[in-house]
Amino acid sequence: MTRYQALAAEIADSIRTGVLHPGDRLPSVRQARASRGVSPSTVFQAYYLLEAQGLIRARERSGYYVAEGARQLPPEPEAASQPEDDAVPLDVSEHVFEILESTMVRDVVPLGSAFPSPLLFPLARLGRIMASSVQNLDPWSTVDDLTPGNARLRRQIALRYLADGVQVHTDEIVITNGALEALNLCLASVTRPGDAVLIESPTFYAALQALERLGLEAIEVPTHPREGMALDALERAIQRHRPKACWLMTNFQNPLGSLMPDAKKKALVELLARHQVPLIEDDVYGELYFDDKRPLPAKAFDTQGLVMHCSSFSKCLAPGYRIGWAAPGRFTRAVARAKLTTTLGASAPTQNGLATYLEKGGFDKHLRKLRRALAGQQTLLAQAIAEHFPPGTRATRPAGGYFLWVEMPGHVDALEVHRQALAQGISVAPGPIFSAQRGFTNCLRLNYGHPWDERAEQAIATLGRIASRRPGAA
């Protein structure tokens, strides 16, 4: 933690525990500097962070004040999950598909959606750049940009890895139709039907669907809502199940929002390397951090080419463009060939347009704005949960991404909440869809990737009422 993060965390704590009350004035920069012996810029950065989190507000010419409602954040869940240490038959049922499809309907309040609002993205500027790029498209790029993909785009991606301190060569990058294809290709490249694969608990449902499609066994590993997969449990699962791959999200995991600390990432990579288990790392939310620096991927600690890093532009720049990539280490050739024989390549004009956008610059400026918006929306959602959900409800406070995970009291049936909410035009993602074992029956994944408004506030109030009904009272 940097100095300003420590200061911000300390002040946030004071607010949440009631030492500071809504409306209280925070120390001026001069006072804080004097009393804590930190630089003015540290104080400014801490206050900006707290403001982005919705905990404090600036009033013109009079300094910073604790925001109204800032105290009401739900407590965080503390315990790691405890899935059965056995494969259960994978059967992503019709029902689950229906739930997922219900979250894609336009008129529903999209708390269950997998996507952030497209209005948060620079689609107008992207469109202008795409427009110019597509009119200058080299006809031969329609062949040249097939797998492994457009050379300029792959170079831009490699440059971003470099800036983040991760060694990935342009030649390792395979452009895909979004991260989902990258993940599926990586999984197919290291497994055969019947193999065991380790996943988080809860896990992104697409992992369950991919495992089922490929005839693989899902072993769910205990996962902590703040720090991700438990490494001791992971090691036991490796020894017991001899898995052919481990698939997880290190940064702002879907659905928990957990962020694995760097030291733990390093230990994870070393543990898997000792057992020669490939890691399929889904890092699509890595750019959506609320702190000051992009969290490293596990890939940064890979020395053996065993980490297959997958990401995309769909969540951070260009939703619907369907451009992602894999950096699959020693499996690069296999992944490229799997891509070549299943979908051949990604759209050439789209690849060219994105490459030009990245070359022109402006991506980081957009990202800063996007992160601020998401951080603020998280606070507003969390506050609404604290106000409307029944006592005993807990919610994660992810340091990035656009999902949080709500644990309602144990008797609340998330599938029933989903059904009743949908009847009132509100989607949620109920816990059981995130587990082959259909656990997490009292949990919801909620999306704060949409600008907060009165409709969202009302939807949370409705959800809270549904969740507060006595069991059996329909």
Closest by Cα among 323, 333, 332, 344 to 302: 332
Which listed range, 23-31, 125-133, 284-292, 355-363, lies at the site for a second copy (CB under 8 A)?
Answer: 125-133
- Total residues in contact with a second copy, by rule CB under 8 A: 60
* Helices and strands (H and E) in the chain: how many: 16, 14
CB closer to a second copy out of 92 and 273? 92
Assign 124 to helix, strand or coil: helix
- The CA distance from 160 to 386, in Å, is 38
Q: Which two tokens stand for residue 60?
A: 């013109």
Contact indicator for 365, 430 with CB cutoff of 8 Å: no
What's the closest the beta carbon of residue 370 comes to a second copy, in angstroms?
14
Q: Which position among 5, 209, 437, 441 is part of the footprint of a second copy (CB under 8 A)?
A: 209
Q: How many CB atoms lie within 10 A of CB 429?
A: 27
Q: Which position among 115, 235, 392, 416 is part of the footprint of a second copy (CB under 8 A)?
A: 115
The site map against a second copy for 93-112 (x = CB under 8 A) is ----x--x---x-x------
Q: Which position among 337, 419, 465, 469 is part of the footprint of a second copy (CB under 8 A)?
A: 337
Q: Which position among 26, 198, 338, 426 is part of the footprint of a second copy (CB under 8 A)?
A: 338
Contact indicator for 260, 286 with CB cutoff of 8 Å: no
Q: Which position among 243, 255, 297, 345 is part of the footprint of a second copy (CB under 8 A)?
A: 345
Q: Which two tokens stand for residue 120?
A: 């948060």
What's the closest the beta carbon of residue 20 comes to a second copy, in angstroms?
39
The contacts of residue 336 (CB under 8 Å, 6+ apart) are 147, 148, 174
Q: Is 332 near a second copy (CB under 8 A)?
A: no
Which listed range, 53-61, 151-159, 344-352, 361-369, lies at the site for a second copy (CB under 8 A)?
Answer: 344-352
- For the segment 163-192, give every residue that binds a second copy (CB under 8 A): 176-178, 180-181, 184, 188
Find how far residue 463's CA is from the centre of its chain.
Answer: 23
Q: Which position among 198, 210, 374, 412 is part of the footprint of a second copy (CB under 8 A)?
A: 210
Region of residue 278 (left: phi > 0; alpha: psi -120 to 50; beta: else): beta
Q: What is the C-alpha R_g of the chain?
A: 22
Q: Is 316 near a second copy (CB under 8 A)?
A: no
What's the closest the beta carbon of residue 310 comes to a second copy, in angstroms?
13
The enclosing H or E element of 445 equals strand 443-447
State yes or no: cis peptide before 243, omega within 30 of 0.
Answer: no
- Binding footprint of a second copy on the chain (CB under 8 A): 92, 97, 100, 104, 106, 115, 118-119, 121, 123-124, 127-128, 130-132, 134-137, 139-146, 176-178, 180-181, 184, 188, 193, 206, 209-210, 213, 215, 319-323, 337-338, 340-350, 353
